[in-house]
Structure 1
């Protein structure tokens, strides 16, 4: 008789939640990362009036049913996966999933809600000035701070994703 692969010994519900944790966290990390390496750099090179208008449009469009599960659902799924891991006596995985959830909740979702969202809401109220100099000042003030906090939430999401990797490495380990 051929031995069963280790991943098949993991309960299906735990396996499903572990993969859902990976997909959601990977999606939100990729979303934040794309803002770092393309979106904001591109807007920084555009005319400031165009950059402001584009950012206003993107911020208005991001509140949607495609984005919400990854942004809001990631910590919930990570905490459920941690609980499922714990109930299955996979203690190292449970700790890693729990840590991933806490790191994302504070550094990803929390930082976004505390800093990036209020900045986006303030920018939404800005009437784009006709003066290029005035628009440049608005954009420069907004972009620099926004990007610092975007890097912070990207790093937090990346750490969460790495912790999920650690959890996967130990998922088959059952501790009494």
Structure 2
């Protein structure tokens, strides 16, 4: 037959065993909660560091963007200044050429001839109008102008004798340096 021992020490042992395993379980849960809290704290700390780094990178980006914008504006201003300087240099060269042309024109005009108009533009070149007492002076003036290297395509467009005996003439020439000056 089966005998049951109802002694109190077995109940105490079973109770102690239950408390022990309950303590182990609570210890495991506590360790697990502490580990989770540590991991959560570490993640929060990393997130805070990343946000601080992101804010710092945003400030650097803003600074670099403004620096790039300033440099771009400076380059645009430099390009504008260099274009203006180049344009001024071309204008100076163009004006110097015109001055030389006018000085040479004044020395090529024969005495019985007067220039009454001098017109110049890029499309039509140089147009000279004047008066002369003799057609020979017009021919002489035309030959002298034809010898000038800056007037390669010179032609006498018109010669008309007026009622008072003077001859009006019209000379047309393409300037060799008119397109680049």
Class of the TM-score when normalised by the shorter of the 2 chains: under 0.3
* Richer in strand (by share): 2
* Richer in helix (by share): 1
Task: Answer 1 or 2: higher relative contact order, Cα 8 Å, separation at least 6.
Answer: 1
TM-score norm. by structure 1 comes to 0.27
Which is greater in Rg?
A: 2
